[in-house]
Structure 1
Amino acid sequence: MRTLLHLSDLHFGRVDADLLDPLRDTAQEIAPDLVVVSGDLTQRAKCHEFVAARAFLDSLPFPQIVVPGNHDVPLYDVLARFFRGLGRYRKYITADLAPFWTGDGIAVLGVNTARALTIKDGRVSWSQIEGIKARMCGLGDEVIKVLVTHHPFDLPEGSHHKKLVGRAREALVALDGCGIDMILSGHLHVTHTGHSAERLNVGGHSTLIVQAGTATSTRGRGEMNSFNVVRISRQRAEVEQRVWDPETRKFETNARQAFERSAHGWVRPHRGHSTQERRGTSSGASSR
């Protein structure tokens, strides 16, 4: 199985500094094949915040796929917001807004959903959808295909948030024939794992939707800091939630959820064969 370390919503400028060293140590222990960071590296897209974020990324294992979030676009600096947008992100993090990595049967593509015209909402453009199709649809069925976005393609049940990433349904319909296996996202500071067939009727293929909480921000929105460890093969996927425990001062395993590949994509195992486990708080739906 391939192992992905999924971090999101670091928010340098509003981080809990006590979490940084334990997170680095845990990341090294996990030794992932790929580190994925699904946006909001900074709180207000300031230069010193990007410098701190860059130093933290450099302390984590490589290779990495990183995408920006809405907080990585300046908010109060109007000229920078509308004329330079992700300029600071490009300077300090990466100029590649569609990063791609492939290795040993897996392909991971980052998609930028941050937009200057909205404060917090995101969108996938038609040209980005075509770019995803061009990059991913031609890969063979034996390749595991993963997308990384900041804004979510699904919402936890009962969430008071109403907006998915713009064109979420249209993108999933357009990508139905590509066999996308998984979409990793963040933004809500809430952990959620499911698959598109549970609530989104968008075609014949079921894609895993995996959302991470905030790994290091003080803006927990009712959840402890957390991240995901994703292990995936052609026939099985496991999503492990690691949650910060103030008593042990470690990121402890809180829940594991398993999915199996069916003729129509990813589904939860039949009752009686589920390996879902929980320790303490739920990794399912909760409001921000």
Structure 2
Amino acid sequence: MRTLVHLSDLHFGRVDPELLDPLRDLVHRLAPSVVVVSGDLTQRAKSEQFEEARAWLDTLPGPQIVVPGNHDISLYNVFRRFALPLERYKRYITDDLDPVFIDDEVAVLGVNTARSLTWKDGRVNKEQVDKIRATLASMPKDIVRVVVTHHPFDLPEGSTDEDDLVDRAHMAMDAFADVGVDLLLAGHLHKSHAGNTQARYKISEYAALVVQAGTATSTRGRGEVNSFNVIRTEPRKIEVDRYGWDSVHKQFQLLATEKFMRSGNVWAEVNEGLLAAGI
């Protein structure tokens, strides 16, 4: 089993500083196999915000898979936005925009979906998808395959803005089905969500698990408490714990656990009765 701590939308420049130390301490206690950060490390891609983000990431355990978000590209500096869109991100965070972690149980592939030509939307391109296909194609089936993006491949219940979805998602999903991607992690919406891709993407005998993280530390909660996910992966079972900020006790508390199992290449939520029966 591998444990992934999934953080997103840190937004240094608009963080609640009260959350940083308790979150850091809890992440260490959780002893993750990998820390995943799915974008928007800063609010406005300023050097001092990247410096703060880098300093805080350095207090977390590794290995870390970090990808940029749309807020990590300058918004108001037009030259920097189009000529040097992720130069500060690469200087302070990492120059690897599509990072990879692989061991004998899990493969975690980060994909940069942030683009300077759109204000908040994101996309994947054929080269990125081809890299994912090449990386995963020859792996043993029991290695859990995880793709991390900032922009989501699916939307939480009640969200209707299709523009929030990553562009060229159908092209990517066809490739994911071919190589058996199990789990898609994303952020961007500041809303927590877990489900599968079956309703949106009509791919025969395939449905990946989609897990969306809320904002871990930003003051822009959009109606949710600050939250993050802890994901425990096995070849046929994935559990998702959602932790949320308790403002009374000044700590993150476990709010809910969702359990999913794989049948063939289809991931679906299961209830406790089925799990107890070994189904």
Compute the TM-score of the two structures, normalised by the length of structure 2: 0.96
Find out whether 1:15 has 2:15 as its counterpart. Answer: yes
- Where does residue 25 of structure 1 map in the other structure? 25
1:1-288 → structure 2 map (5 Å cutoff): 1-163=1-163, 164-269=165-270, 272-273=273-274
User: Does structure 2 conserve the Cα–Cα contact (< 8 Å) formed by 1:182 and 1:208?
Assistant: yes
Aligned length: 275
CA deviation vs aligned residue, 1:188-239 (integer Å, no higher than 9, x gap): 0000000112443133221110000000000001100000000010121000
Identity score, percent: 54
Q: Structure 2 CA distance, aligned partners of 1:73 and 1:203?
A: 37
Which stretches in structure 1 are left out of the alignment for 5+ residues?
A: 276-288
User: Does structure 2 conserve the Cα–Cα contact (< 8 Å) formed by 1:176 and 1:203?
Assistant: no
SS in 2 for 1:205: coil
- Where does residue 284 of structure 1 map in the other structure? none
- Where does residue 280 of structure 1 map in the other structure? none
Which stretches in structure 2 are left out of the alignment for 5+ residues?
A: none
**Cα RMSD (Å):** 1.3
Q: What is the CA distance between 1:162 and its match in structure 2? A: 2.1
Q: What is the CA distance between 1:168 and its match in structure 2? A: 1.0
Q: Structure 2 CA distance, aligned partners of 1:5 and 1:198?
A: 27
Q: What is the CA distance between 1:178 and its match in structure 2? A: 0.4
Amino acid at match of 2:190: H
- Where does residue 279 of structure 1 map in the other structure? none
Q: Structure 1 CA distance, aligned partners of 2:33 and 2:198?
A: 28
Amino acid at match of 2:144: I
Q: Structure 2 CA distance, aligned partners of 1:97 and 1:264?
A: 28
SS in 2 for 1:197: coil
Q: What is the CA distance between 1:271 and its match in structure 2? A: 7.9
User: Does structure 2 conserve the Cα–Cα contact (< 8 Å) formed by 1:123 and 1:166?
Assistant: yes
Q: Structure 1 CA distance, aligned partners of 2:179 and 2:55?
A: 36
User: Does structure 2 conserve the Cα–Cα contact (< 8 Å) formed by 1:259 and 1:268?
Assistant: yes
Q: What is the CA distance between 1:274 and its match in structure 2? A: 6.4
Q: Structure 1 CA distance, aligned partners of 2:245 and 2:231?
A: 17
SS in 1 for 2:198: helix
Compute the TM-score of the two structures, normalised by the length of structure 1: 0.93
User: Does structure 2 conserve the Cα–Cα contact (< 8 Å) formed by 1:173 and 1:203?
Assistant: no
Q: Structure 2 CA distance, aligned partners of 1:270 and 1:58?
A: 38
Amino acid at match of 2:183: M
